[in-house]
Amino acid sequence: MTYRTIRQRLLLSAGSTLIVSLFLAAAASSQASTTGAYQPDSAHSDASASPNFRPNAFQHHFWEALELQPQDAWSTLRDSFQWQEKHLPADAQARVDKWIEHYRSSPQNIVAITERATPWLAWITQQVSERGLPGEIALIPFVESSFDPSARSHRGAAGLWQFMPGTGDALGLVRNGNYDGRLDVVTSTAAALDYLEMQADEWYEGDLMLSLAAYNAGAGTVNRAQRQAQGQGLTGDYWELSLPHETMQYVPKLKAIATIINDPEQYGVALPDIHPDPAFAKVQLAQPVSLTQASQLLDVSQSALAELNPGLLNGSLDPRSAQTLLVPEEVDTQVLAQLSQSTSTALASTNTPSVHRVERGDNLSLIAARYNVNQQDLIRWNAIERPEALKPGQLLSLSGQ
């Protein structure tokens, strides 16, 4: 709620007890702030005779006290930070400072990554806060994937949270030719936070920094390092462990970027404006739908839908794999309800041809998404031996009949 909104609402209810109490409090604050402690006697009962009297002082202090700082996703995130005031040993702080200098030396990289975070930051921060986790956890995708939900590593990790295939499978993230739950931001975020909490509770007595290390290197590696440290008389917290190089840098990187975001002006970084509310809405669907069809129904660009739904590998949603479609938050709620409740009817009214004539630039993935069919079915129906060698003018059957 903005300062202007609060002021209007208070003016509309000026006769309430609340407004009276606030004015009295402001008046008392104003009187206390004047120089001296003037107390008018009977001969000077007219307060205006006081050299310290300021007729509009209490109104000024009243509105000044109510003035609110503008809220955005960054200020919400900062409010949820829990690690910024924790004192670190000198050698641990030096590891963090090294990465602060690294990041601040290339502020354009921070800007590029935080721009990429725009659709996701507010929602992820909300999910982290609802679990009571430190807000710094919302910045793990900065370290893992540079906030690119389609990111893939050479080792096979994928998505905003960079899940390896085996880990994703163990956490119930569906993977098939049409859908990869590791790339689905909503699904993978829930899995990542579950995983961090589960490891912290199971192995580390709730210590999230140790869980973060295990997220990166595996619990077995961290547990061995912890036992070794404890055998040397140390407590075995994250900063004392001897771990693989990447894992040694993992928490310092996270702490460093959180430190910069906590006070970007100090480090010469300009962060993009991100609204404090999530940038997307979720629609539950029981019928298949392609992004092309959803785009037409919602009057939203197909590229915007594709950006919000990177887990849909072939550009279509199949409820057997995923039931949630993300759409831009500004889409009219009545239109969303129509999509959710009447998808099958709307799609049935679409005239789908029985064949497709290949045009220059076509490929099987695009054709499958356009007509909401499976790419492998297209190959089978048309006995295609070289999917990469489609020719303009070639006719493809869009059904097995």
How far apart, in Å, are the Cα atoms of 162 and each of 92, 127, 182, 331?
Answer: 26, 18, 7, 30
DSSP string spanning 21-74?
HHHHHHHHHHHHHSSS-----GGG--GGGSTT--TTHHHHHHHHHH--PPP-HH
Which one of the listed residues 115, 144, 330, 388 is annotated catalytic? Answer: 144
DSSP 243-279: --HHHHHHHHHHHHHHHHHHSTTTTT-PPPP--SS-S
- CA–CA distances in Å: residue 16 to residues 12, 20, 61, 157, 342: 9, 7, 19, 59, 48
Q: Is 144 a catalytic residue?
A: yes
Residues contacting residue 203 through CB under 8 Å, at least 6 positions apart: 210, 211, 214, 219, 222, 223
What three-state secondary structure class fits 220?
helix
Residues 6 or more apart in contact with residue 235 via CB below 8 angstroms? 229
Nearest to 396 by CA among 361, 349, 363, 348: 363
Token pair in block for residue 140? 């793990």
The answer to whether 138 and 274 have CB atoms below 8 angstroms apart is: no
Radius of gyration over every alpha carbon of the chain, rounded to an integer in angstroms? 29
Kindly state the helix (H) or strand (E) to which residue 281 belongs, with its residue range.
strand 280-284
The CA distance from 194 to 192, in Å, is 5
What is the sign, positive or negative, of the torsion defined by CA atoms of 69, 70, 71, 77? negative
Distance in angstroms (rounded) separating the CA atoms of residues 247 and 327: 36
Is 321 within 8 Å of 188 (Cβ atoms)? Answer: no
- Catalytic residue numbers read 144
